[in-house]
Amino acid sequence: MIEKNKFLDILTFVFLIIGIIFIIFPIYYCFIAATHDLATVMKSPMPLYPGVELFHNFQKAFVKVNMSQQLINSFIMAMSITIGKISISILSAFALIYFNFRGKNILFWMIFITLMLPVEVRILPTYEVASNILSPINKIIHVLSNININLEFSLLNSYSGLVIPLIASATATFLFRQFFLTIPDEICDAAKIDGATPMQFFFKIILPLSKTNIASLAVIIFVYGWNQYLWPLLITTSPNMKTSVVGLQDLIPKVDELPEWNVAMAAGLLILIPPTLIVIIMQKWFIKGLIDNEK
């Protein structure tokens, strides 16, 4: 039962508006700074109405740094992480629920435990492996035969290096597993009686049932991949492989430089546009995936 109380309704709206102001104002301030020239931005206080220099500042941001290439790199990274995470997670969860094999529970708990390990905790060993993914083979051969060899295959400054270390997701695997547990066993039994193979059952029944979950997870994972900063900062040293979030630091004014905050704010707005568009376009599916339980 939902209690109807006019005072509580007003109080709810007041807190809601205060929360929106706290969230929206920094973005609005960034937008205003991006629409003025440098002299206007340096005034104290800066005007709170928009100017006419927005597209000029966009153009300067593209000229000062390789913004177009950085946006392409960010899009490739975010999209690859999204496709990879969802593909691996849904197949892993499918195997954990619908196949019986030795060590299944141990594997699930190993996946579950990695939920407790954020990227920052395992970033140094991950970088060590990415710098030469054949180094474990070198060590195994040395231990077994006492022979020193130096096989090398580095993922530094490559799209595979940006994507592969972030492509597995314990969270997505866990969420898909919990969703598959709610699917009635009768559906699986009916598929077996009709002679469906496991992969036919997956592609014709499980995948269509999971489309709203996939859509909502895709939005979350795309934004996660787009906003990555620490890992791209470590794995890339080439200017051509920088992502837009990492490249933004090149526009932040430094000591003895002209403080072109208007250009930096314009670049920030440009970086904000792709994930915002994804959220707006996928909004319907995103909300449906969070609340829909129809099977």
Q: How far apart are CA 52 and CA 4, in angstroms?
A: 47
Checking if the pLDDT of 122 tops 90, the result is: no
**Looking at residue 149, what is its pLDDT?**
79
**Looking at residue 295, what is its pLDDT?**
52
**Looking at residue 1, what is its pLDDT?**
54
Checking if the pLDDT of 245 tops 60, the result is: yes
- C-beta of residue 71 within 8 angstroms of C-beta of residue 244: yes
Checking if the pLDDT of 223 tops 90, the result is: yes
Checking if the pLDDT of 290 tops 80, the result is: no
Least confident range of 67-76, 116-125, 204-213: 116-125
With residue 60 as reference, give the H or E element that holds it.
Answer: helix 54-64
**Looking at residue 294, what is its pLDDT?**
53
Average pLDDT over residues 243-272: 88
- Name the H helices within 65-206: 67-98, 104-113, 123-131, 135-145, 159-163, 170-181, 185-193, 198-201
pLDDT digits (tens, 9 = 90+) for 161-172: 999 888 888 888
Average pLDDT over residues 116-139: 83
